[in-house]
Amino acid sequence: MKKGISLIVLVITIIVIIILAGAVILSLSLNNPIAAAKEANFKASLTGYNDELSMSISSQYANVMGNIDLNSINTITNDELKQYIKNISDSDISKYRIVKSKLTYIGSNLNEMQWAKDLNISLEVPYIKDGLVIWYDGIYNGGIGVHNDNNSLNKSKWIDLSGNINDGNLYNFDFTKNNGWGDSFLNYGLDTSNVMPTQKMTYSTVQVVYETAGSGWNYIIDARTDVSDGWVAICSAFGSSYLRPYKDGIIDSTSVPLPNNRKVYLSIKCNPTANVMPTIGARYSKNESIMGKTYCVRIYNRLLTEQEIAYNNEIDKIRY
């Protein structure tokens, strides 16, 4: 009689192997050693940077006999940051700035945001705050340290981070990767998509980071004095090739070439003649929109200086 493995034994063996394989996969998914190592490495580096910053400030504090304003210790460039944290790696240097003597994470990685919060590291972004009346941010679109995605309960809200509680309502979005939230931007994929703040306002400077991706009229900011009357465009991209600010309320109406599929860091100074309701990403009177990505929008109720505009733009280029 020939000996061999019966069909029942073989089936049982296969089932056991499948169960064991499933247990191993589940264990790895719950206790991902690669993810755990990344978290540990990030937190160790961040703790080291924070300790080095504290030592640098303490040394500086001692050298001037305690006569130092901690709120005045701020950095914007990499070289300035390295004066305080000499050992910071080249791969990490763009993720951090010093704000009022505290190390601040300004990167866009969602895991790193959470790990920084675990270590009580500030997530504040050091934009110019004086006169800021609206700040919509593609990285922190759900609030500082919080990122909405297309499945979030509050996905139709773009939180105003200026402190004025002027949240933006998102209209006509499918909330997909082609017409909704991305990792650090809001993607417009339908002609009628737009963001509408909740209040009227008077403003003088508009700063946006965006990327056009389609032909035709691409409206960046469209302002109207009332929900039922006409509109005054603040700026638009015509044919995805030129910025074309309208004459009404515009100080500088020079056309600026705009490339497709590339980020543009744009600042426009306006004449604050009336309280208006801005629409972001679409023309109010027609079904026309940006057809691209908006990374951030900041609106000020005063004219920023060229130095302030350049300062904010440097932060935008680091973050986006």
Could you tell me the CATH number of the domain that includes residue 179? 2.60.120.200
Same domain, 93 and 144: no
- Which residue has better confidence, 243 or 126? 126
Same domain, 38 and 177: no
Question: What is the share, in percent, of the chain residues with pLDDT greater than 90?
Answer: 34
Beta bridge partners of 196: 169
Judged by average pLDDT, the poorest of 13-27, 128-142, 177-191, 246-260 is 246-260
Domain range for 221: 132-319
Q: Computed over its alpha carbons, how large is the radius of gyration of the chain?
A: 25
Same domain, 246 and 97: no
Q: How confident is the model at residue 247 (pLDDT cuts 50, 70, 90)?
A: very low
Q: Identify the pLDDT of residue 82.
A: 93
Same domain, 312 and 238: yes
Phi, psi for residue 154 in degrees, rounded to 5: -105, 30
The predicted model gives 48-55 an average pLDDT of 93
Same domain, 42 and 191: no
Q: Identify the pLDDT of residue 291.
A: 76
Alpha helices, H only, the chain = 7-30, 33-63, 78-84, 110-118, 306-319
Q: Which of 129-143, 181-195, 229-243 has the highest mean pLDDT?
A: 129-143
- Which residue has better confidence, 114 or 253? 114
Judged by average pLDDT, the poorest of 8-12, 37-41, 84-88, 236-240 is 236-240
Same domain, 66 and 141: no
Residue 40: pLDDT over 80: yes
Digit-coded pLDDT (tens) for 61-97: 766 655 678 888 888 888 999 999 999 999 899 899 9
Establish if 20 belongs to a structural domain. Answer: no
Cβ-based neighbours of 207, under 8 Å, separated by 6 or more: 265, 266, 267, 268, 296, 297, 298, 299, 300, 304, 309, 312, 313, 316
